[in-house]
Amino acid sequence: MGLRDLLSKPGQMLGDMAQVANLESVVQWGQSYSLWPYPFATACCGIEYMGTACSDNDIARFGAERPSFSPRQADMILVLGTLTYKMAPVLREVYEQLSEPKYVVSVGACASSGGMFDTYGVLQGIDRILPVDVYVPGCPPRPEAILDAIMKLQEKVKTQGLESRRQEVMRKIQELNERNKPLVVQ
Ligand code: SF4
């Protein structure tokens, strides 16, 4: 019997100690309180994020106060602002470089839907290229809305196992690849 098996049955006695949680839930709990963000800021929502990261809002309560500017040391990417078609491949590449398991938060109307910029040069929502986990409404979103998104993501991390996470990402990427297939006119 390995350590994983031994620690997978809450309620059992281990000598004179009672096991109150299984290993996976403890790991997920720890992970949910150390979600380091990669702020991908392209417009004014980036300034809103800076306000959110200021001391008034105490984002450290959620263990998300440490922005990483290397995707290799980040757990979630916050997309903050308008995304042009020119920048879309850059965002996708940064996403690919994040370490697994990785999460995507779409912050504000522009990132989520193109916002007011319904033009030929602006991507109408980052979910056309990335598997988004949480959408934050608003233009600009208030700091409370960004903190609420982090809390929603924490709930997801605490309850979703690695395998179901992998399946969700694969399904979303398959869907968006399907949607992005070029239209062939015959
Ligand atoms: S949603 Fe509003 S505040 Fe955010 S980048 Fe777009 S225009 Fe700026």
With respect to residue 146, please indicate whether it lies within any of the assigned structural domains. yes
With respect to residue 22, please indicate whether it lies within any of the assigned structural domains. no
pLDDT at 8 (0 to 100): 64
With respect to residue 6, please indicate whether it lies within any of the assigned structural domains. no
Q: Is the pLDDT of residue 143 over 70?
A: yes
Q: For ligand 1, is residue 78 a contact (CB within 6 Å)?
A: no
With respect to residue 1, please indicate whether it lies within any of the assigned structural domains. no
- Rounded to the nearest angstrom, the distance between the alpha carbon of 101 and the centre of ligand 1 is 28
Residue 117: give the domain boundaries.
29-178
- Rounded to the nearest angstrom, the distance between the alpha carbon of 43 and the centre of ligand 1 is 7
Nearest residue CA, atom 8 of ligand 1? 44
With respect to residue 186, please indicate whether it lies within any of the assigned structural domains. no
Number of domains comprising the chain:
1
With respect to residue 10, please indicate whether it lies within any of the assigned structural domains. no
Mean pLDDT of the region 8-31:
79
C-alpha 164/C-alpha 170 separation (Å) is: 10
- Rounded to the nearest angstrom, the distance between the alpha carbon of 6 and the centre of ligand 1 is 50
Nearest residue CA, atom 4 of ligand 1? 45
pLDDT at 19 (0 to 100): 76
- Rounded to the nearest angstrom, the distance between the alpha carbon of 102 and the centre of ligand 1 is 24
Mean pLDDT of the region 59-85:
95
C-alpha 18/C-alpha 172 separation (Å) is: 40
